[in-house]
Amino acid sequence: MLAPSRQFDWSELSRHIDHTLLKPTATTPDFEKLFDEAVKYNFFSVCVPPSRVPSAVKRLRGTGVKVCAVVGFPLGYNSPEVKREEARRAMLEGAQEIDMVMNVSAFKGGEFDLVARDIDGIASDCRFAKRVLKVIIECCYLTDEEKVKAAKLAERMGADYVKTSTGFGPSGATVSDVVLLRRSLQPKTRIKAAGGISTLAKALEMIEAGADRLGTSSGAIIMEELEKLDRGVRSGHLSAAQGSGTSDAPHDAVVKG
């Protein structure tokens, strides 16, 4: 796993990023820009609404950038049957990864059988289709005890990743949540941090805490920041901390050429 305490290539960081566009006001030109940026920086995937999966698949075919679709987004209120059909349709149209929102309302109400059935149906289809499933537990609405319980339930039902947030709640990913999830889950279950990751320093913090993937709409900005840091370090004109534009940046982060 990439850690900011050792040297790394900028391209290695890009492969931790799901370049994301889920704003309700986003238009076709906005998605075309997202796809172009994903190719330019070789991001791991683009994360888009189900209706944008066909255009994403068409644009990104042969580039190595995967397509991820959100399901039950952003509140998770849909019935298990509706969510499952939404996920199936996205996979049929070419989505290689599914980010589904857990039914937080049911979980908070103690309806754990419903939550388990909700996840299990999509997990089963993802396994059959050899797709990756991430379950968003929306940490901002949960106590630490509930976060652990939700994460372990998702893991037990077959989630490949537990994801912290939709980015639509009152707060997004925190380092403490990533650390808690990493400590609570089996090594095979990965973690995606999402929501509020808009700077290079924040991205590195999340990875160092244990996140395997980052969901962010600021992927291009983060990569531009890293390239600026790279140029500064190469020229010897600034330190890594200065180049990150924040005082809490890792002081020993150095970019290889």
Distance CA 87, CA 35 (A): 21
Would you say residue 24 lies in a domain? yes
pLDDT tens digits for 88-140?
Answer: 999 999 999 999 999 999 999 999 999 999 999 999 999 999 999 999 999 99
- Which residues constitute the domain of residue 154? 19-198+210-217
Instruction: Give the active site residue among 18, 99, 120, 177.
Output: 99
Asked whether residue 253 is assigned to any structural domain, the reply reads no
Q: Is 163 a catalytic residue?
A: yes
Count the Cβ atoms, other than its own, within 10 Å of residue 6.
10
| Residue 11 pLDDT level (bands cut at 50, 70, 90) | low
Confidence of residue 1 (pLDDT cuts 50, 70, 90): very low
Catalytic residue among 83, 147, 192, 202: 192
Yes or no: say if 66 and 53 are a contact pair by the CB < 8 Å rule: no
54: enclosing H helix or E strand: helix 53-60
Q: Is 188 domain-assigned?
A: yes
- Residue-wise pLDDT tens digits, 70-89: 999 999 999 999 999 999 99
For residue 133, count other CB atoms closer than 10 A to its CB.
23
pLDDT at 245: 46
CA distance 155 to 116: 10
Report CA-CA distances (Å) from 161 to 138, 176, 191.
13, 17, 5
pLDDT over threshold 90, residue 170: yes
Cis peptide before 24 (omega within 30 of 0): no
Q: How confident is the model at residue 256 (pLDDT cuts 50, 70, 90)?
A: very low
Q: Are 187 and 1 in contact (CB under 8 A)?
A: no
Q: Output the average pLDDT for the chain.
A: 90
Domain contains 239: no
Q: How many domains does the chain have?
A: 1
Is residue 28's pLDDT more than 50? Answer: yes
Average pLDDT over every residue of 19-26: 98
Instruction: Return the pLDDT at 229.
Output: 87
- Residue 86 inside a domain? The answer is yes
Q: Which residue in this structure is represented by tokens 């339930």?
A: 153
Does the global pTM surpass 0.75? yes
- Please state, in angstroms and as integers, the Cα–Cα distance from residue 237 to each residue in 110, 229, 257, following that order: 56, 10, 16
**Distance, CA of 188 to CA of 89 (rounded, Å):** 27
| Residue 133 belongs to some domain of the structure | yes
In a domain, 250, yes or no: no
Quick one: pLDDT at residue 232? 74
Per the domain annotation, does 1 fall within a domain? no
User: Is 99 annotated as catalytic?
Assistant: yes
CATH number of the domain to which 185 belongs: 3.20.20.70
Query: What is the predicted pLDDT for the residue at 99?
Result: 98
Stretch 64-69: mean pLDDT: 98
Would you state the pLDDT for residue 249?
39
Active-site residue identified among 163, 202, 212, 230: 163
Q: How do residues 222-253 score in pLDDT, each as one tens digit?
A: 999 998 987 777 666 554 445 444 434 333 33
**Annotation says 36 is catalytic:** no
Percent of the chain surpassing pLDDT 70: 86
Contact yes or no for 167/196 (Cβ under 8 A)? yes
